[in-house]
Amino acid sequence: MSSTRATLDIAALQLRRRLRDRSAIIQGILAPVLLALIISLAFGGGTSFSASIAVVDADGSAVSAPIVAALVGGGGDGAAEDAGVRFVREVDEPTATRAIDDRDVAAAIVLPAGFGAAVAAGEPPQIRVLVDAGAELAGDVAEAVARGLAARLDATRVAVGATLALDPSLAADAGTVIATAATAPTAVALGESAFGAGFDPVTYFAPSMAILFGFLTLGAGARAVIVERREGTLVRVRAAPVTDRAVLGGITLAVLLLGLVSFVTVWLVTAVAFGARWGEPLAVFVVIVATVLAIAGISTLITALARTEAQADSLSAIVAFGFALLGGGFLSPGDLPDVLAVVARLTPNGWALAAFAELSAGASGLAAVWPSVVVLLGIGVVTGAVGLGRIRLGMA
Amino acid sequence: MAAAPVLVARRLRKAYGDLTAVAGIDLTVAEGETYGLLGPNGAGKTTTISMLCGVLEPDGGEVTVAGRAITATDPGARAAIGYVPQEIALYPDLSARENLQFFGKLQGLRGARLDDRVSAVLATVGLADRADDRIEGYSGGMQRRANIAVGLLHEPRLLVLDEPTAGVDPQSRNAILDAVDALGREGLAVLYTTHYMEEAERLCDRVGIIDTGVLVAEGTRRELLDQLGTADRVRVEGTGPLDRLAAACRALDGVAEAAVTDGAVDLTVSGGRRLIAVLVDAAERVGVAVTGVEVVEPDLEAVFLHLTGRALRDAS
């Protein structure tokens, strides 16, 4: 019989067995969706990020007033509102501190006394940020706003300095000119955020959990070689007029299809039922395919290296949770330490999550994620080829 | 005119590291012939038939089935073989019908032909009324029968059965033996491995005795028994130091072999009845209390003992 037909028959049998015992449905679809929702609730209490940040004008100068007014009045391009951030005015720093303690606001940006004078004198302005220790993401946003503001003030100061060198008569208004030019930096700072449309925990943790459970689901599929050897069915399949390549091809095809269906189902369920914003569908699908291929390749390699079913189980669990931890699968992006951000790129999880984050943030098309896709495909092809090359179907 | 050979194996060899599992076996099985490969566990039976069926690459030698060489590069040649492994090689979470349909497809059967063959073999092994039950719900005997059914599905020229009665109850065992007997009479070439001498004697037209990877003797039952010459087999049952009794017996004139099995000493002797008194006397001398003496007809067990110096059951 043709190898292609045998491959399809073997793949169909593998899928039927996995679906019949329901482990694939539980592990590949229910578990990632549920865990993504639970972790999302723990991180965000809902499906979208929102925070109030206090702004204090302790200077009360002509330089600080327009900046505070711009922030509180929703100036700029509206990115702050889109990101779920609301700025509220507080009269002084102690009041802002109490508001943080009372959880009325998550952070505060303070323009201290002497701020305007420092700007007018061409000195670096001091901006303080107060943060609720329990609201790290809001603190990150407040710091980003403050840094953006400072950067814009500094750039404007340099530009105005150059202008004054040509026309010293404008020097009296220098501070006001700088402040006026600096009322837009909030938009710049937030526009650079990875979550331009707001951080949505479900959107982040759905792919994260799909990858984690993908390792477990696909690992179980790849272990079919070991299971069938134990059950004795492998020797009977090999006694039929089919090639070993067709046998391995059938098992691999089943693993890939199972992974793809699981991942796509998680995508559709979280998008339709929970409003997760995965991004442009074609690009999302391509990233999913590349991710599944990477997971399948690694699972095949694990199967090839393991001598027993128990060994393969243990290795799969270690790899699944290890990669999830190192790849940032359990942390929101803003909470990822610098070291982990680097280490994450050594894992397929890190590359995949980076690509999904890009797409969910509004990046359009494959152009934005092709490096991740290439790396994931590379991981899948290399580990899969090595794994398939090492697997021995014959008797031990 | 002799029936055409279906299976021909020449100088088959296989080693695992320093351990030689099969050391140059030659055998042929003709159309309509049931050939028994008799030997203890670990003798090399499963390794031999794994090579014959193409699931294990031999280190040397060649195999042809229905005139076609069995090689790793030509899986199509395996279509002439119906292989029934020693283990229950079925998917436990699928029904017998689903198992048969899957393995039938691998043999190239499709559509109505597949359905017909599935129904036919289910009837042959007496499982038609339980065809849609999962294998895991079957008794051991029913699983064995379903295991055999897969091997018959594609109407092979050669049926290879690797210890198909291992671990089944006597009733199922009889049913399996009857079915194999009928298949042989229908013209199928059957290669049957077992370590049960009674099965080989009941089923097989010819028997090959295998031990430590070597085919030590081959022939019809009569031809093998003739190797014993005029020897008789005597079984002395008793309590006490049976090992000492076996050693004492070996020193007696007329005793060719002596081995301890199952609370008795099995002997191959010349002039069995004449020696009984001498054997009882020897037992008393070494302190064995004799509880029974039996002169038995020579059988393949005696042939194995004669050829290897060990009892088949002990070796197993």
Last-in-domain residue among B224, B243, B258: B224
Mean pLDDT in residue range A85-105:
86
Residue A384 has pLDDT above 50, yes or no: yes
Residues A308, A313, A318: CA angle, nearest 5 degrees = 125
Q: Give the per-residue pLDDT at B316.
A: 52
**Domain co-membership, B164 together with B273:** no
Cβ <8 Å between A239 and B107? no
Alpha carbon distance, N-terminus to C-terminus of chain B = 38
Asked whether residue B309 is assigned to any structural domain, the reply reads no
The Cα of B198 is separated from the nearest Cα of chain A by a number of Å equal to 27
What the block records as the tokens of A186 is 């909030």
Q: Of B106, B154, B163, which to mutate for an interface test with A (greatest number of A Cβ within 10 Å)?
A: B106
Closest residue of chain A to B104, computed from CA coordinates = A240
Output the pLDDT for position A114: 85
Q: Is the pLDDT of residue B204 over 60?
A: yes
Identity (one letter) of the amino acid at B60?
G
Going by C-alpha positions, the residue among B144, B141, B159 that lies closest to residue B32 is B159
3-class SS of residue B34: strand
Count of structural domains, chain B: 2
Name the minimum distance, in Å, from the CA of B310 to any CA of chain A. Answer: 29
pLDDT band at A212 (very low <50, low <70, confident <90, very high): confident
CA distance A236 to chain B (A): 6
Mean local confidence (pLDDT), B268-293:
86
Claim to verify: residue B14 and residue B50 sit in the same structural domain: yes
ipTM of the complex model: 0.78
Can you give the pLDDT at residue B129?
93
| Residue B126 pLDDT greater than 80, yes or no | yes
Contact B108/A1, CB-based, under 8 Å? yes
Pairing status of strand A107-111 against strand A51-57: parallel
Q: Which of B257, B258, B262, B267 is nearest to B235 (CA)?
A: B267
Q: What are the phi and psi torsion angles at A329 (to 5°)?
A: -70, -20
Rg (alpha carbons) of chain B, rounded to whole number = 22
Note whether A8 contacts B: Cβ–Cβ < 8 A.
no
Q: Tell me: pLDDT of A396 over 50.
A: no
Confidence band for B12, pLDDT divided at 50, 70 and 90: very high
Q: What is the dihedral of CA B194, B198, B203, B207, to 10 degrees?
A: 60
Residue of B76, B88, B107 lying closest to A232 (CB–CB): B88
Distance CA A278, CA A3 (A): 38
B85 inside 8 A of chain A by CB: yes
Residue range B221-275, pLDDT digits in tens = 888 887 777 677 888 999 999 999 999 998 888 888 888 988 899 888 876 677 8
**């059938």: which residue's tokens?**
A250
Residues B235 and B215 in one domain: no
**pLDDT score of B133:** 95
Domain ranges of chain A: 3-45+199-395, 51-183
Per the DSSP assignment, residues forming a β-bridge with B159 are: B82, B190
**B78, B93, B150 member nearest A21 (Cβ):** B93
Hey, of A5, A8, A9, A13, which one would you mutate to test binding to chain B, going by the most B CBs within 10 A of its CB? A13
Compute the distance between CA of residue A113 and CA of residue B58 in angstroms, rounded to an integer.
90
Measured between CA atoms, the residue of chain A closest to residue B153 is A240
DSSP state string for B100-144: HHHHHHHTT--HHHHHHHHHHHHHHTT-GGGTTSBGGGS-HHHHH
In chain B, which residue's Cα lies nearest the Cα of A17? B93
Identify which of B53, B57, B86 has the shortest CB distance to residue A239. Answer: B53
- Flag whether pLDDT at B63 surpasses 70: yes
Question: Per mean pLDDT, which range of B45-49, B138-142, B231-235 is the poorest?
Answer: B231-235
Give the model's pLDDT for residue A49. 60
- Residue A310 has a pLDDT of 86
* Cβ proximity of B199 and B179 under 8 Å: no
Across the interface, do A241 and B79 touch by the CB < 8 Å criterion? yes
Domain span including residue B273: 230-297
Give, in order, the Cα–Cα distances in Å from A146 to each of A55, A65, A110.
10, 15, 9
- DSSP lists the bridge partners of residue B134 as B95
Q: A348: closest CA among A331, A361, A332, A329? A: A329
Residue A12, min C-alpha distance to chain B (Å): 9
Phi-psi region of B181 (alpha: psi -120 to 50; beta: other; left: phi over 0): alpha
- Kindly state whether B56 is in contact with chain A, defined as any CB-CB distance less than 8 angstroms: yes
Q: Which residue of chain A is at minimal alpha-carbon distance from B49?
A: A239
Residue B1, pLDDT > 50, answer no
Look up the CATH number of the domain holding residue B269. 3.30.70.100
Query: Mean pLDDT throughout B183-187?
Result: 85
Domain co-membership, B220 together with B84: yes
**Average pLDDT of every residue of chain B:** 88
Taking residues B151-157, report their average pLDDT.
92
Indicate whether B81 belongs to any domain: yes
B/e letters for A48-75, b = 16+ CB within 10 Å, e = fewer, are bbebbbbbbbbbebebbbbbbebbeeeb
Chain centroid to Cα B292, Å, comes to 30
* The pLDDT value given to residue A12: 94
* Any domain includes B127: yes
Answer yes or no: do B254 and B129 share one domain: no
Cross-chain residue pair B57–A243, CB shorter than 8 Å? no
In this structure, the number of other CB atoms found within 10 A of the CB of residue A359 comes to 26
Q: Residue A71 — pLDDT band, cuts 50, 70, 90?
A: confident
Instruction: Kindly report which listed range (A332-346, B60-74, B182-196) carries the lowest average pLDDT score.
Output: A332-346
Q: Are B45 and B25 in contact (CB under 8 A)?
A: no
- All residues of chain B having their beta carbon less than 8 Å from the beta carbon of residue A18 are none
A229 → chain B, closest CA residue: B89
> How far apart (Å, rounded) are the C-alpha atoms in residues B117 and B101?
9
Pick the range with the lowest mean pLDDT from A36-40, B76-80, B198-202. A36-40
B281 domain residue, yes or no:
yes
Q: What is the value of pTM for the model shown?
A: 0.69
Do B160 and B199 reside in the same domain of the chain? yes
- For residues B216 and B251, membership in a common domain is answered with no
Chain A residue with minimal CA distance to B151? Answer: A236
Residues of chain A with C-beta less than 8 angstroms from the C-beta of B48: none
Least confident among A347-351, A392-396, B170-174 = A392-396
A292 and A275 in contact (C-beta within 8 Å)?
no
Question: How high is the mean pLDDT of chain A?
Answer: 79
Taking residues B55-80, report their average pLDDT. Answer: 89
8-state DSSP, A73: T
Looking at the fold, whether B238 and B286 belong to one and the same domain comes out as yes
Among candidates A216, A170, A169, A243, which has minimal Cα distance to A329? A216
Pick from A6, A16, A232: which is nearest to B106 by CB? A6
Rg (CA), chain A: 27
CB pairs under 8 A between A and B: 75
Give the pLDDT band of residue A336 (cuts 50, 70, 90).
Answer: low
Backbone φ and ψ for B244, nearest 5 degrees, come out as -65, -35
Nearest CA in chain B to A19: B93
CA angle A80–A86–A88, rounded 5-degree value = 130
Mean pLDDT across B264-289: 86
Show which of B181, B204, B224 is a domain's final residue.
B224
Distance (Å, rounded) from C-alpha A263 to C-alpha A325? 19
Give the residue carrying structure tokens 């940032």: A328
Sheet holding B34-38, edge to edge: B81-84, B158-162, B189-194, B34-38, B206-211, B214-219
* pLDDT at residue A230, as a whole number: 85
Kindly list the residues from chain B whose CB atom is less than 8 angstroms away from the CB atom of residue A1. 105-108
- In a domain, residue B308? The reply is no
In whole angstroms, how far apart are CA B222 and each of B2, B185, B206, B300?
19, 20, 9, 10
Confidence of residue B34 (pLDDT cuts 50, 70, 90): very high
Look at residue B23 and tell me if it is in a domain.
yes
Q: What is the mean pLDDT of residues B32-42?
A: 88
| Residue B60 sits in the same domain as residue B127 | yes
Q: What pLDDT shows up at residue B51?
A: 92
Query: Is A41 in CB contact (< 8 Å) with chain B?
Result: no
Lowest mean pLDDT among A179-193, B114-128, B215-229: A179-193
| Contacts of residue A252, Cβ cutoff 8 Å, sequence gap at least 6 | A222, A296, A300, A384, A388
**Residues B151, B117: one domain?**
yes
A75-79, A106-110, A317-321, B37-41, range with the lowest pLDDT: A75-79
The neighbouring-strand residues paired with A109 are: A55, A129
Q: Which residues of B touch A21 (CB under 8 A)?
A: 93
Q: How far is CA A269 from CA A33, A207, A365, B1, in A?
A: 8, 12, 22, 72
B82 and B203 housed in the same domain: yes
Helices marked H in chain A: 3-20, 23-25, 31-44, 64-72, 79-82, 93-101, 115-120, 136-166, 174-181, 185-191, 201-222, 224-231, 233-239, 244-274, 281-305, 309-326, 338-343, 348-360, 370-390
- Quick one: pLDDT band at residue A197, thresholds 50, 70, 90? very low
Q: Do A236 and B77 touch (CB under 8 A)?
A: no
Q: Does B55 touch chain A (CB under 8 A)?
A: yes
Q: How far apart are the first and last CA of chain A?
A: 27
Residue B72: pLDDT band (50, 70, 90) is confident
Examine the domain organization and report whether B65 and B158 are in the same domain.
Answer: yes
Whether residue A195 has pLDDT greater than 90: no
Q: Which of B81, B89, B107 lies at the smallest CB-CB distance from A232?
A: B89
Query: pLDDT band for position A188 (50/70/90)?
Result: very low
Residue-level pLDDT at A76? 47
For A31, other C-beta atoms within 10 Å of its C-beta total 19
**In chain A, what residues touch B91 (CB-CB under 8 Å)?**
13, 17, 231, 233
Answer whether residue A290 shows pLDDT above 70: yes
Q: What is the pLDDT of residue A294?
A: 94
Tens digit of pLDDT for each residue in A223-278? 888 888 888 899 899 899 998 888 888 988 998 898 898 888 888 888 888 888 88
